[in-house]
Amino acid sequence: MEREELFRKISIGNDKKMVLLVLDGLGGLPRDGRTELESARTPNLDLLAAESELGLSHPIAPGVTPGSGPAHLSLFGYDPLKYEIGRGILEALGVGIDVNARSVAVRGNFATLENGLISDRRAGRIPTEKNRELVAFLGKRIRKIEDVEIRLYSGEEHRFVLVMTGDDLDDRLSDADPEATGLPLKYAEARDEAAARTARIVNLFIERLGVELAGQHPANTCLLRGFAKYPAIPSMGDLFKLKAAAIAVYPMYKGLAQLVGMDVLATGRSIRDQVATLKQHYADYDFFFLHVKKTDSWGEDGDFARKVEVIEEFDHWLPEILELTPDVLAVTGDHSTPALMKGHSWHPNPVLLKSPFLRRMPADARMVDAFACGKPDGTDGQSCGKVSVSAPAAKFCETACARGVLGHIHAMDVLPLMMANALKFKKFGA
């Protein structure tokens, strides 16, 4: 019996509420002895950690650095190796684009080309308003390449979506992205002979865009990743009997949620707005996915301090979520994005799981809060504010999660664990 068949067999509906809080790129690496999560002042997360099971999760497999798409798919209970979904289709769905069977979608970055080399892969994170101007400009000038229709759609900041529609298009292409600065443009390559024509169309588009934006700075070229046609994937309602909703700001995460059958709720851009949306719709669904993006953005920019600030902002609004008293609550990341590395990494994600049915092992879920005193080893017995360093104090961070009762798990197991704790699985077998 396959995993999905098992879930269909044992899932049951009930009125229990489940909330999955994902701080994108949450995990980090130490700077001056502390990670971003260890450096952040998080009294509410820390209190919650003392009442929760903690652990670490691997999105794909130990040592494998994940993209955001497969990492989130894993958190939703799907095998990311079975459903390899290109980022383009997620971005397209996230901005409300209709994509048909004759279309290939791809996620694009406006980028900066100087002296023949990529100097900024995100064009300085241009404002979304500037993005819209560029897309409108290009939309009037690049409408067709050979017999393939070209459509461009604005995303957030430097991101856009390219949709190509025509006969016999194929998504088996390599990314047109060198994935590092200081390198020349990289063109798409066909991974199968049937995709050769599509690769040619893509590369002609890249060249044409460069000509049209030659006078622009910093957005004068583009990088393309995640070529994709619409996939066949079962819904969360089908697999888990869930009525699910997503609260996200960025198009890709809206698209992924939509792809697995979640209703995407309209929300504002701040964490405060997202929490307000959760409260507004709390009676309408039994599973909520709330996504916080900026932890990842600042990690990718190498801005340790601002990533810490986003974690602290989330902690500030956490009590309003807890006031809803969800039956099961999970807090985690989709992947780690250490500011030290300025990108995604293979390091496992901190996981917190709260429900009435926990194996309470406080010794595993607690650690000496020496971080506030700048004593990461916790050996100093001096007083540290309101906390005695010699006494155990809860802390939600990578170190505490490494000691937690959950141990190291696969990210695919997070949702099944939530389902079990919400009593949404019946017994398997006699």
> DSSP class of residue 193?
G
Question: Which backbone phi and psi does 293 adopt, to 5 degrees?
Answer: -90, -35
Question: DSSP for 96-135?
Answer: T----TTEEEEEEEEEEEETTEEEETTTTT--HHHHHHHH
Give the whole-angstrom CA distance, residue 357 versus residue 398: 23
Domain borders along the chain are 3-81+235-421, 89-228
Residue the block writes with tokens 């957005």: 219
Q: Is the pTM of this model over 0.85?
A: no
The answer as to CATH 3.30.70 being correct for domain 89-228 is: yes
pLDDT of residue 252: 83
| Structure tokens belonging to residue 304 | 């340790």
Burial of residue 110 (CB within 10 Å: 0-12, 13-18, 19+) is buried
pLDDT of residue 94: 77
**Range list of β-strands (E), 321-381:** 328-332, 349-354, 366-367
pLDDT of residue 85: 81
pLDDT of residue 90: 79
Residue the block writes with tokens 């995604």: 344
Residue the block writes with tokens 């080893």: 377
At the second CATH level, the architecture of 3-81+235-421 is 3-Layer(aba) Sandwich (3.40)
Question: Which strand (E) or helix (H) includes residue 245?
Answer: strand 244-247
| Structure tokens belonging to residue 373 | 């005193």
pLDDT of residue 361: 59
Per-residue pLDDT tens, the chain, 430 aa: give them: 899 999 999 999 999 999 999 999 999 999 999 999 999 999 999 999 999 999 999 999 999 999 998 999 999 999 999 988 877 887 788 778 878 878 999 999 999 999 999 999 999 999 999 999 999 999 999 999 999 999 999 988 999 999 999 999 999 999 999 999 999 999 999 999 999 999 999 999 999 999 999 988 999 999 999 999 888 889 999 999 999 999 999 888 998 898 899 999 999 999 999 999 999 999 999 999 999 999 999 999 999 999 999 999 999 999 999 999 999 999 999 999 999 999 999 999 999 999 999 986 554 434 434 444 344 444 443 333 333 333 334 789 999 999 999 999 999 999 999 999 999 999 998 8
Give the whole-angstrom CA distance, residue 312 versus residue 41: 6
- Return left, alpha or beta for 318; rule: phi > 0 is left, psi -120 to 50 is alpha, else beta: alpha
Burial of residue 167 (CB within 10 Å: 0-12, 13-18, 19+) is exposed
Residue closest to 18 by CA, chosen among 324, 295, 333: 324
Q: How does 24-49 read in b/e, with b if 16+ C-beta sit within 10 Å?
A: bbbbbbebeebbbbbbbebebbbbbb
pLDDT of residue 351: 97
171 within 8 A of 229, measured Cβ to Cβ = yes
Give the whole-angstrom CA distance, residue 125 versus residue 109: 9
> DSSP class of residue 282?
G
186 within 8 A of 178, measured Cβ to Cβ = yes
pLDDT of residue 337: 97
